[in-house]
Amino acid sequence: MPVFVAPPASEAELVSRAEQLAGEPLGVLAARVGWEAPADLRRHKGFTGQLMERLLGATGGSRAVADFPELGVELKTLPVDARGVPSESTFVTSIPLGEIGDVEFEQSRVVRKLSRVLWVPVEGTRSLPVAERRVGTPLIWSPSAEELSVLRSDWESLCLLIAQGQVESVTGHLGRYLQVRPKARDGSARRVAYDEDGARLLANPRGFYLRARFTQQILARHFRLG
DNA sequence: TATTGATCATAT
DNA sequence: ATATGATCAATA
């Protein structure tokens, strides 16, 4: 079994590879690359995503670029319940708190990440042993004009608040599709930001996330599930 | 019980 | 340090 997987030469090849994985349990797939599935994900939260990257030949690594730079495609695994409904939000990108407002939506990290996404649903029920969780049918996706306009308005209003120094008042309650939540090693992590008077302050690092209701809509529109 | 806020591991 | 991969777990 190949431990090294070459990057796919085209988007079609990438999708084809992902389709070949559908139905397989994570334990079987992990063994293909010489890994063992952990008992649970408490200390291995990135396991599924990293396994899929490895299996599909992603090369982006932890750099701030797409997982498949040559194809401009981002890979996102999506934990789903027994009915195929996403059970968690989806992390999109970290937020540069100190230099927000320097960029238009079209050039933003959010657009760069979401312009083309390969969604890979994976069973995520906590009581299911990780090794037994099966991979679902993948979906290659780009946001529709309507979806993009909602994402833009969420992004613009959230960025405006942060740029105005209201970072501490931006909670996970805000945003229809996109939300801002902590994204840090722990509660003591700090990042440079600015208050409403432009004075430097240190804030907990934040990231943009897609609400589960939005990713549910994405999946439902393409596979008419029950 | 759905959601927000907190947290864990690894790469560069 | 800060990006990546996310899910956990306390709260409302």
pLDDT 10s digits, A35-70? 999 999 999 999 999 999 999 999 877 787 899 999
Q: Could you identify the residue written with the tokens 């780009």?
A: A142
CATH superfamily of the domain spanning A11-223: DNA mismatch repair MutH/Restriction endonuclease, type II (3.40.600.10)
pLDDT of A174 > 50? The answer is yes
Q: Could you tell me the pTM of the whole model?
A: 0.96
Q: Is residue A42's beta carbon less than 7 angstroms from any atom in nucleic acid strand C?
A: yes
Local structure of A120: helix, strand or coil: strand
Local structure of A122: helix, strand or coil: strand
pLDDT of A156 > 90? The answer is yes
Q: Is residue A205's beta carbon less than 7 angstroms from any atom in nucleic acid strand C?
A: yes
pLDDT 10s digits, A61-107? 778 789 999 999 999 999 999 999 999 999 999 999 999 988 999 99
Mean pLDDT of A175-193: 97
A50 CA: nearest nucleotide by C1': C5
- Could you tell me the distance in Å between the CA of residue A198 and the C1' of nucleotide C4? 30
Mean pLDDT of A149-168: 97
Q: Helices (H), strands (E): how many in chain A? A: 6, 8
Sheet holding A74-80, edge to edge: A74-80, A117-123, A139-141
Mean pLDDT, chain A, whole residue set: 95
- Burial string for A87-116 (b: 16+ CB within 10 Å, else e) reads bebbebbebbbeebeeeeeeebbbbbbbbb
The CA distance from A48 to A195, in Å, is 38
- Could you tell me the distance in Å between the CA of residue A102 and the C1' of nucleotide C8? 34
